[in-house]
Structure 1
Amino acid sequence: MQPITHRYRRNRTNEAMRRLVRETTLSTGDLIYPMFVVEGLGVKREISTMPGNYHLSIDMLLRECEMLAGLGIPAVNLFGYCEDKDEKGTGAYDDQGLIQRAVRALRQEIPELYLQTDIALDPYTTTGHDGLVVGDEIVNDETVDVLCRMAVSHAAAGVHMVSPSDMMDGRIGAIRKALDAEGFEKVSIMSYAAKYASSFYGPFRGALDSAPRSGDKKTYQMDPANVREAVKEVLLDIEEGADVVMVKPALAYLDVIHEVRRHIQVPLAAYHVSGEYGMILAAAEKGWVDKERAMLEATLAIKRAGADMVLTYFAPELARYLADHPM
């Protein structure tokens, strides 16, 4: 046998050494928890399509967010369940709307928690589309006008960051201009810059009753076959004023996260979406994978690909795990 020159196993001898040479780390500070707000009082109802996640009335949202802050999770991303939908999505920019009231309550009760809100019309429209529908067309510019009103309404309620997830052209620049014009220069924008027309959104759409009533979202969300286009979308959103850009979904698009990271210097988020979350839960329930190890490995892969922060439904479980097993 020839002498072995390189013995890489020496760097894997024990946990202390493995931590010393670890190239990618994951901490609770990297996590953003998406949450679903509903009307009512005392409501904490498990979402049937997303076990372990809940529809929460504002009073219960406050309790959950106190727990999250105690775990060290720095940010939440809020989605509102709108019961009074209409063709124009007017509930999206109602100053007394559900999300606006939730933001005000959270800012008062848990001021240390960083608040992000979704900016899109699909939970508010009868069509279930992210934009306004005129005839058979999801119209772009008219939608952007409504998104600007929505973003300003959320900013007036006290949100720290708005998160446009609609994929309309030009909406980042328009929202930045609208926010600045109303004196909200300090409100940040996290753009869903490369959001794909993915099959992995199904459980989420069930949670918000936001599936399109007809057609699909392929005229505005990206083709899963494309990566160069994602880079163009991201760079344009940065040029228009995005403070953070996002790739969504995450696990099926690790190559996109990696490619985008190569081209940008601003912070990069990735969304570990409901269908990806559900696959791990289903496999764990069958006994095919260990849930803790799988959620950790999946989130670490997203970080390794280049994401700075991860939106994940595993955030509370990951925070508890990392408290006992710091990386």
Structure 2
Amino acid sequence: MAMKVAIVGVGYVGATLAYTLLELETLRELFLAGRNLQRLEGEAIDLRHAASFFAPRQTISFGPVADCHNADIVVLCLSHKQSSFDRTHLAIDNARLFAEVVPVLTRQNPECVFVVATNPVEALTQWTIELSGLPPHRVLGAGTVIDSCRFRDALSVHLRVHPDDVRAYVLGEHGKSQFIWLSGAAVGGVHLKAADIPPHVVESTRSSGTDIFQLKGNTCYAIAQALKLIVRCIAGNRLGTMPVSTQVDLGEGFPPLCLAKPCIVGRRGIEQVLEPQFSSEEQQMWLASGRHVAATLADIHNALGDTPRAG
């Protein structure tokens, strides 16, 4: 079944994602939404020309958020300009942007699945659930798909195997409190031990995003591919397993919040949340991520108060 995908916020990430989606056979229509209509028109024309190299060609249109209707998948890439790589720095400003557009998008795209790309992604995924009033399975964030990609890449170079043969996840938060799920890491079905993962691989996983940002001022290609993977799984009902941001219950003392954990992604969004078996140390890191996201959510709620849901 071919689908309509809307990308809200067409900066570096949104534009790169739009281009990568052109090769999806399950993409029927692509809608670019934002405020700078001149920029959007230029992107749409350029993408139409690029689409002529693919078969079948998709319908590509653009406009303000008010013109975004009946999309099956809505990818939220909108963000204030980021001057640093501190993912909590722009939390309140980005949450304010979401408060403006998410209720409108929910009313106009009542059957959609939301995919959140904007940082801080875990906090804003939970914020989107609250703003939209949708069931949590229909709202998911990019999570640590990109961090897991970076980890697999660094580990594959060290072990001299293809990244596809490395099954290993970074979990928790797409940010400072992320952690490697070591007890679930394997290569060729053989579980890895701590001694198999040298410190430079861990450091590379944590720092590469910041390094890229400092060198070129943004990160766009790898995150666009991560988002394409998510969209592809939803549009094609591929039931792929990946560490996306989803609502979790951390128990007493924690509000509803989202963290990145392995999930099965399909047409309804989150088809199933998997339950990784953590070591005692990993459990503590999992809760530490939860506390970090909860603090960011508290900042958002304190600044913006009770925001009406879509309805």
Q: Is the TM-score greater than 0.5?
A: no
**TM-score scaled by structure 1?**
0.32
**TM-score scaled by structure 2?**
0.33
Give the greater-gyration-radius structure (CA): 1
